[in-house]
Structure 1
Amino acid sequence: MKKALTLVVGLLIPMFNWAQCAMCRTQIKNNVSAGETSMAEGLNNGIMYLFFTPYIVVFALIFLWYRYSKTTKRVSLNERLKG
Structure 2
Amino acid sequence: MKNIFVGICFFLIGVSAQAQCAMCRAALESEEGGVKAEAINDGIVYLMAIPYILVGILGFAIYRLKFGNKKPSKNLS
Q: TM-score range by the shorter chain?
A: 0.5 to 0.7
Q: 1:30-80 CA distances to partner (integer Å, 9 max, x unpaired)?
A: 11xxx2221011111012112222211111101111122214xx27x54xx
Mind listing any 5+ residue stretches in structure 1 that lack a counterpart?
Answer: 1-19
C-alpha displacement of 1:25: 2.3
Q: How many residues align?
A: 54
**TM-score for the superposition, normalised by structure 1:** 0.49
Q: Which residue of the partner structure matches residue 44 of structure 1?
A: 41
Q: TM-score, normalised by structure 2?
A: 0.52
Deviation at 1:21, TM superposition (A): 5.9
Could you tell me the percent identity over the aligned residues?
31
* Corresponding residue for residue 59 of structure 1: 56
Which structure has more relative contact order (CA 8 Å, sep 6+)? It is 1
Structure with greater proportional helix content: 1
